[in-house]
C-alpha cells in the first residue's frame, strides 16, 4: 500500500480534535492552584505537571503505536485476561462516572453558576446537576450535530478567551512572584498531573484519533502511526501553552491575601474576576458550561462503548448511558474538592502500574516473559498502596525511606525489583 504524504491541515484538524478531548474544562482548575502553591518554583511544578499529564499521555500513545495497537488492551494485555479487564475497567470508570464525568458538572456549577447566585444561596447543586445531566442523557443516547457544533465552536472560544486572559495576566500581573513554595514542587506537580486523568483517557481516545486518521486516507501502518504522532504533538503544544499560562497566573497570586486559602475552582474564578471583572466571570461560566457538556457527552459515550465491547455486547449501550448519567449525577453533588480528595488515592494506586506497563511496552519485542510486566506492575502498585495506607495513619510509613519517595516515586525501585524477579519465573502466557 502506498504511503500517503502527510498534510499539515490534516495534522492540525486531528490535533485540534485530540486537544479538545484532552482539554476538559475540569482540567483548568489544577494549574492555577499549583502555581500559587509553588510560587517561585512554579516552572518546576508546571514541568512535572505537564510531564505526568500530557507527556505521559503522549508516551502512552507512542507505546500503543509501537505495538501497532490502538486500544488500552494493547498495554494491559500482558497482565492476563482478568487483570487486564480489571485494570481497563478501573481506568474507564475513572474517566467515567467515578471521577471525570461528575467533575464536569461540579466544575461547571462552581465556576459558572455559583458566582452568579450570591443572592440565591438556597439554590441546590442537585437542581443544576440534574439539568446538566438531563442534557447529557438526551444528546448521548441520540447523538446530535449539536454536540459537534458545540465542540467545534465552544472549545476554540474557550481557548481564545484563556489566551487573552494569560496575555493580560503577563502584561499586567496580579502581583509579583515572590513567595517560596509551600509544597514539594515535584511531588505536587506529579500528583496534579495524575488528577487530570489524561494518561488514562489517551488509552481510550487513541481509537478515535486513529479512526479520524484512517478517514483522511492514512491507512497503512507507517502513515497511521505518523499521523497519530504528529497530531498528538499538535495537541501537546496547545496544552503546554494553556496550562503553562494558567500556572503562571496562579503564581502571581502568592502575595495577595484575597487569593489565599481558596480551592481550585474558586481561585480560577477569582483570578478571572481580578483580570476582567464580573463580565469575565460570566463569560468564563458560559463557555465552561458548554465545554463541560461536550466533555461529559464524549466521555459518557466512549465509556459506554468500552463496556459494551468488554462485555461482548451483553451490556447494552443505552442501559449503560443511563446508569453512568445517574451515577455521575449523584457523585457530582459532592463538589469538586471532595471528588478530587476521594479520587486521589485511587489514582495514586493505579498510576504506577499503568506507567510501568507503558514503559515496558516499548520493549515488547525483547520481553518474552509476561511475568516481567506482571511483577513490575504489581510491585509498583503495592508500594503505592502502602504509601496511601500510611496517609491514613497505618504503620506502613517505612516506604518513605525508599529512594525517590520524597518526590512521589517510591514505587520505582520496587517495580524494577519486581520486574527482575518476574524474569526468573516462567510464564505460561
375-416 pLDDT per residue, tens: 999 999 999 889 888 877 777 778 888 888 887 788 999 999
Contacts of 414 (CB under 8 A, 6+ apart): 379, 380, 382, 383, 402
- Which set of grid coordinates corresponds to residue 299? 466521555
pLDDT score of 150 = 55
Compute the distance between CA of residue 15 and CA of residue 93 in angstroms, rounded to an integer: 25
Residues 6+ apart with CB under 8 A from 380: 352, 353, 355, 356, 411, 412, 414, 415, 418
Q: Has residue 283 got a pLDDT over 90?
A: no
pLDDT tens, position by position, 35-64: 999 999 999 999 999 998 888 888 888 888
The secondary structure of residue 3, as a DSSP letter, is: P
- Encode pLDDT of 362-375 as tens digits: 888 888 899 999 99
pLDDT digits (tens, 9 = 90+) for 126-167: 889 999 999 999 888 875 555 555 556 767 887 888 899 999
Q: What is the pLDDT of residue 49?
A: 95
C-alpha cell belonging to residue 127: 437542581
Mean pLDDT (the chain, rounded):
85
Please count the other Cβ atoms lying within 10 Å of the Cβ belonging to residue 40.
15
Q: Can you list the alpha helix ranges (DSSP code H) found in 23-124?
A: 30-38, 42-50, 56-66, 73-76, 81-93, 100-108
Averaged over 113-123, what is the pLDDT? 67
Instruction: Give the pTM.
Output: 0.82
How far apart, in whole angstroms, are the C-alpha atoms of residue 10 and residue 155? 18
| Residue 190 near residue 50 (C-beta atoms within 8 A) | no
Confidence of residue 4 (pLDDT cuts 50, 70, 90): low
Amino acid at each position: 500500500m502506498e504511503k500517503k504524504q502527510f498534510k499539515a491541515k490534516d495534522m492540525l484538524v486531528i490535533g485540534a480534535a485530540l486537544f479538545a478531548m484532552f482539554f476538559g474544562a475540569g482540567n483548568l482548575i489544577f494549574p492555577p492552584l499549583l502555581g500559587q502553591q509553588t510560587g517561585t518554583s512554579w516552572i518546576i511544578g508546571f514541568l512535572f505537571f505537564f510531564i505526568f499529564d500530557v507527556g505521559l499521555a503522549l508516551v502512552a500513545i507512542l507505546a500503543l503505536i509501537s505495538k501497532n495497537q490502538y486500544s488500552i488492551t494493547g498495554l494491559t494485555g500482558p497482565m492476563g485476561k482478568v487483570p487486564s479487564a480489571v485494570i481497563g475497567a478501573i481506568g474507564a470508570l475513572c474517566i467515567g462516572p467515578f471521577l471525570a464525568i461528575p467533575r464536569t458538572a461540579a466544575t461547571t456549577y462552581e465556576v459558572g453558576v455559583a458566582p452568579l447566585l450570591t443572592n440565591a444561596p438556597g439554590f441546590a447543586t442537585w437542581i443544576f446537576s440534574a439539568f446538566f445531566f438531563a442534557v447529557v442523557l438526551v444528546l448521548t443516547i441520540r447523538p446530535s450535530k449539536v454536540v459537534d457544533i458545540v465542540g467545534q465552536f465552544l472549545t476554540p472560544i474557550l481557548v481564545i478567551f484563556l489566551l487573552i486572559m494569560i496575555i493580560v495576566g503577563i502584561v499586567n500581573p496580579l502581583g509579583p512572584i515572590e513567595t517560596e513554595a509551600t509544597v514539594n514542587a515535584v511531588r505536587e506537580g506529579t500528583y496534579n498531573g495524575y488528577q487530570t486523568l489524561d494518561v488514562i483517557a489517551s488509552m481510550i481516545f487513541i481509537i478515535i484519533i486513529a479512526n479520524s486518521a484512517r478517514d483522511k486516507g492514512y491507512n497503512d501502518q507507517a502513515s497511521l502511526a505518523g499521523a497519530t504522532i504528529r497530531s498528538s504533538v499538535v495537541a501537546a503544544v496547545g496544552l503546554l501553552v494553556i496550562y503553562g499560562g494558567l500556572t503562571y497566573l496562579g503564581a502571581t497570586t502568592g502575595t495577595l491575601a484575597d487569593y489565599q486559602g481558596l480551592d481550585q475552582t474558586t481561585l480560577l474564578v477569582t483570578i478571572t474576576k481580578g483580570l476582567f471583572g464580573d463580565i469575565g466571570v460570566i463569560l468564563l461560566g458560559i463557555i465552561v458550561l458548554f465545554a463541560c457538556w461536550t466533555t461529559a457527552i464524549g466521555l459518557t459515550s466512549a465509556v459506554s462503548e468500552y463496556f459494551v465491547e468488554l462485555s461482548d455486547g451483553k451490556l447494552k449501550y443505552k442501559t449503560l448511558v443511563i446508569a453512568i448519567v445517574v451515577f455521575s449525577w449523584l457523585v457530582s453533588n459532592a463538589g469538586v474538592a471532595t471528588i478530587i480528595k476521594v479520587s486521589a488515592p485511587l489514582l495514586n494506586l493505579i498510576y504506577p502500574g499503568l506507567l510501568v506497563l507503558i514503559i515496558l511496552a516499548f520493549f515488547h519485542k525483547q520481553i518474552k516473559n509476561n511475568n516481567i510486566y506482571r511483577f513490575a506492575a504489581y510491585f509498583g502498585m503495592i508500594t503505592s498502596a502502602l504509601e496511601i495506607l500510611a496517609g491514613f495513619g497505618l504503620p506502613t510509613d517505612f516506604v518513605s525511606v525508599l529512594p525517590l519517595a520524597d518526590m512521589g516515586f517510591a514505587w520505582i525501585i520496587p517495580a524494577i525489583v519486581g520486574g527482575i524477579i518476574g524474569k526468573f519465573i516462567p510464564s505460561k502466557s
